[in-house]
Each structure stands twice: as C-alpha cells, then as structure tokens.
A and B are shown apart, each in its own frame.
Chain A
Amino acid sequence: MENQTALEVHNLTASYQRKPVLWEIDFKVPSGHLIGILGPNGSGKTTLLRNIMNLMEADSGYVKIFGKDLDEVRSRLSYVPQRESVDWNFPASVREVVEMGRYRPGNLLRRLKSSDKQKVKAALEKVGMLAYADRQISELSGGQQQRVFIARSLAQEADIYLMDEPFVGVDAATEEAILSLLSGLRDEGKTVLIVHHDLQSAYQYFDWMILLNTRLIAAGPKEEVFNSTYLREAYGGKLNLLSKLGEIIAREQFPLREPDFKEKEGSGDE
C-alpha cells in the first residue's frame, strides 16, 4: 500500500479567462501520506484540486487516480470544498448535510439505506458533532461548519481525501481535532491532500508537500521540499514573507508545536 501511487498529474495546464493559473504541473503522490499543497495566494492551489476533481476543464494534461480515470474510481475520492463556498443559511440540518456524503448518482431518487444512516452517524461521532445532528447549519460556528464538511467527507469512505483550506476560520481546538483525525486517516493508509496557506504550521502538519506557484516548484517528502531555495522560489516577490523566511526555516530545525494558534481569517486563492 505504502508505495502505490495514489494520484498522478501529468502536464496539467489550466487557466481562467485565458490567464494561466497552473502551468505544466507534473507530479506523483504515493498513498498513505498527509500531504500539504502550499503556495502563495493565487498560486493555483484550489485550481489544482478542482482539476483533479474534474470541476473545471484543463487546457491540457491529465490526471490519473490509482492509475485510472476519475470516473472509474470516483467512489474512492472525496472532495471537501472551501467552507465559504456554500451558503450556510441554506435550510438544512447537520445530519442532512452529512447524509449527502452517501448520495450517489444511482441512489438519488431512492431513500438512504439504514447502513448509510449508520455511516452518517459514525462520521458525526468521529468529528464530535453527533450531539448537534439535528441543529440547523445556520446556527453553527465556523469550526463546527468545518467539522460538518469533514464528517460529510468521512461518510463517503474514500481512499483519497482532497480538502480545500480546512483550517481557515477554525478555532484552535477544532484545528487540533481535525488534524488528529486526518493523521488517523493517514495511519489507516488513506491519502489526504490539503490546500493550506499557513507556512508556519505546514512543517508540523504534513509529511509530504507540494509547493506551487502556477508552476510546480517541488513535490516530495517535506524534508526535501521545505527548504529556503524552494520556498524563496515559490514566495519570491512577497517581501514581508521573505523576511520571515529565515525565522520559519530556523524553526524547521525545532518543529515544536506552537500553542498560540489564532482564529484565522481570510480566504484561499482563486
């Protein structure tokens, strides 16, 4: 399992309104890792996930999952969009949203089976939201909303998880809880790819990294990717970041867990 290739992206180029956002991206990801997709704002992190899930058309290139096309192995993939991408005032309960993780093209016109409902319950339990199952989603905090999205994804029982900024706008306790959940998935041999914008925590969180800035800067085990050369290449123009870079890399030698997580604001890139 360890050495099997979970995901491969070949020569992927994608653009919005003829402006390239991803340029000839090419990498392979082995299964059983917790992988951070890193890069400055607008570097194409979200676009990469959307291309892997075939939510937008690429200009060129292709993606294989376990060596197959997406449509053949769709049930082995789960996608968690950015929390802000949906309207949380939508009239639905927590349970109803998590149940969507059991929806398939073939069962949309039928009722969910009791085994599906059981899986929904288990997923809610794992993220600590079972007590909130009948709450309306409009009444949740940011952290709880993110837990709901993760529960929905867990209910899919996939082998690869693609998550877009799951730590944005989330409180410290939730961040911790989500991270240990995702590490647990990794330990079960699942592959978890996470779009992440916070360099400071990245080194502690992930064991594998994909560094993007429209082009692929580097992809590999974090020890190989997280160094000043690659980071400078990815974050080049951002001066304030450059000055911080030394500090971050110094910390890299002592990857201690920082207790001062704050409520993080701001959205990801396009």
Chain B
Amino acid sequence: MEAIFIIATGALVAMTCALLGSFLLLRKMAMLGDAISHAVLPGIVLAFMISGSRDNFSMLIGASLAGLLVTLLIELLHKKIHLQEDASIGISFTWLFAIGVILISAYTEQVDLDQDCVLYGEIAYVPFDLIYFSGGELFFPRATIISGLLFLLTLGFVLVAYKGLKITSFNSDYAKSLGISTLAWHLVFMSMVSITTVLSFEIVGAILIVALLVVPPATAYLLTKRLKQMLLLALIFALLSAIGGYYLAVLLDASIAGAMVSLAGFFFLLALIFSRLRSRSLKVDAYLNE
C-alpha cells in the first residue's frame, strides 16, 4: 500500500510537471522553471516566519508571490534594462535563492524547516502523513491528495487554455496583434508553474523538480512534431519514470526521487538514439528515392 501511495504521488507530480514543462520548453523558458523553483525559497521561508505555521496554504501564497516576483524581475532586467535573458535569469533567481538560504539559516534554525528537505525532498515520507475520510475507514496520504488535485487543476488548465498557450508560445507578437494579452497569459502560466513547484517541494525537492519540468517534455519533443502527441508522450514518460524509478530505488536502496529522474534521463537518451536513427533512415530513404 505504501508503494502505491509513493508511486501515485510521484507520478502525479511528474505528470503535472510534464504538462507545464512542455509549454516552458516551447516558450524557450526551460530554465525559467529552474529559476522559479529556486526563487520560491524566500517566499516559503517568509510565509513560514509570518504565519508561524508550516501549513500548505500560507506557504503556497508565499511561494507563488516569490515565483511571480522572479518572473517579473527577469522580464524587467531583460526587456527594460536590456540585459541578456540568460543573464537576467541567472541573476534574479540566485539572488532570491541566496536570500532564502540566509533567512533559513539565520532565523529558522530552531524550527522544523529542513534545508535538505527543501532542496531534495523526501518522497519516502509520503505515506506517514495521512488524512482520514468517512470516520477513519478510508485514508490517503496528504501529499497524494494534494498532488492529485494539482494534477487535475493543471490538466484542466491546459485543456481550457490550450489555444491561448499554443498561440502565445508559437508567436507572441502575432497574438498581441490580435489583441490577446500576452503578459496576462505569461503571468497566469508562470503562476501555475510556481504553484506546482512549491507543492512538489516536499515530494521531490527544489532541484529535481527542474528535471521533471524539462526532461520528459524534451524526450517527447524529440519524438513528435505534434503538440497534442507531445503532451501525451510527456505524460507517459513522466508516468513510466515514476513507476520505474520507484522500483529502481527499491532495488538499489537509493533515493526514490533521484531514481525517478535518472530513469527520465535514460528515456531521454533512448529517444535521442531513436530520433537519430530515424532521421538517418529518412535521409537514406530520400537518397534511394532520388
């Protein structure tokens, strides 16, 4: 039973990241996921210091605000100050992250906010924090419920906002010329990434979330040139990485999140080899046809 809860939680988080990460990739912002995942740290710590509790809601708000702050900061440095985008990203998130590290080490020493847990997460603890339903008969881990709701929210968002995400990712100037508010779309999308990042913190940690945002979508991108197929494939790779990663971790007696991401990287490698072979055979076909 514990295995199922861990796998389900990991899979739900990975699939949520796969959906959002696909659009991050297409918007050429894969590293913005990295930026947000680190920049939310001061938001979380501040929310914790202000509310004094570790409840998810205040942290979620703190993290979302920090996520939006870093998004806006990057936009500001890039668009108004005309610093290169990669430099803007590098400066903004490391600075916010550093503030977060100071806040943790200076003010939260005596309380239960573990740096390791924030950075690396611990999915193995998922089954120990249970919520009971219908008088104790039925119970689910809190993290599984949260990641389930998060996945449904993200799936709904992508389904409803599909056209808007597509046009603003493909040709933002043209979208603007049609009167579509690309900034609003950008901020809504980035809020979704921020929320996902902070909710996934305790499960896979700040660093591995980056991998889940980038690797399954990149794998899918190598294999197809259709957006719907790409989203579907990214979901499948995320699911396989979560299931396979769990058993790999059990086998090696190693970190579950680490094994999930390692497996995702392995799928990427397979996809790379496959797409190379395919393009070579297409070239050979074209040559023979000539």
Contacts and interface: CB of A to CB of B under 8 A. Distances in A.
Interface of A: 17, 50, 53-55, 71, 74, 77-79, 81, 85-87, 89-93, 96-97, 100, 103-105, 108-109, 136, 138-139, 152, 156
In the A-B complex, the 10 residue pairs with the smallest Cβ-Cβ separation, listed nearest first, are: A79-B177, A136-B225, A108-B164, A91-B227, A74-B179, A53-B177, A91-B225, A86-B171, A90-B170, A105-B179
B173 A100 contact: no
A55 B177 contact: yes
Given A91-B26, A91-B227, A103-B163, A74 B171 contact: no
Interface of B: 26, 28, 82, 160-161, 163-164, 166-167, 169-171, 173-181, 221, 224-227, 229-230
Determine chain B's interface SS by DSSP, over half rule. helix
A77 B226 contact: no
A97 B176 CA distance: 15
Contacts of A79: 173-174, 177
Contact of B224 (A71, A74, A86, A91): A91
Contacts of B174: 79, 81, 100, 152
B225 A105 contact: no
A96 B171 contact: no
A89 to B, nearest CB: 8
Contacts of B169: 90
Contact of B167 (A71, A85, A100, A109): A100
Nearest to A153: B174
Given A85-B171, A93-B226, A103-B175, 9 more contacts: A50-B173, A53-B176, A55-B176, A91-B26, A91-B226, A91-B230, A100-B170, A100-B174, A139-B225
15 contacts: A53-B176, A55-B173, A55-B177, A74-B179, A77-B177, A81-B173, A87-B170, A91-B221, A100-B167, A103-B163, A103-B167, A103-B175, A104-B179, A105-B180, A105-B181
B178 A74 contact: yes
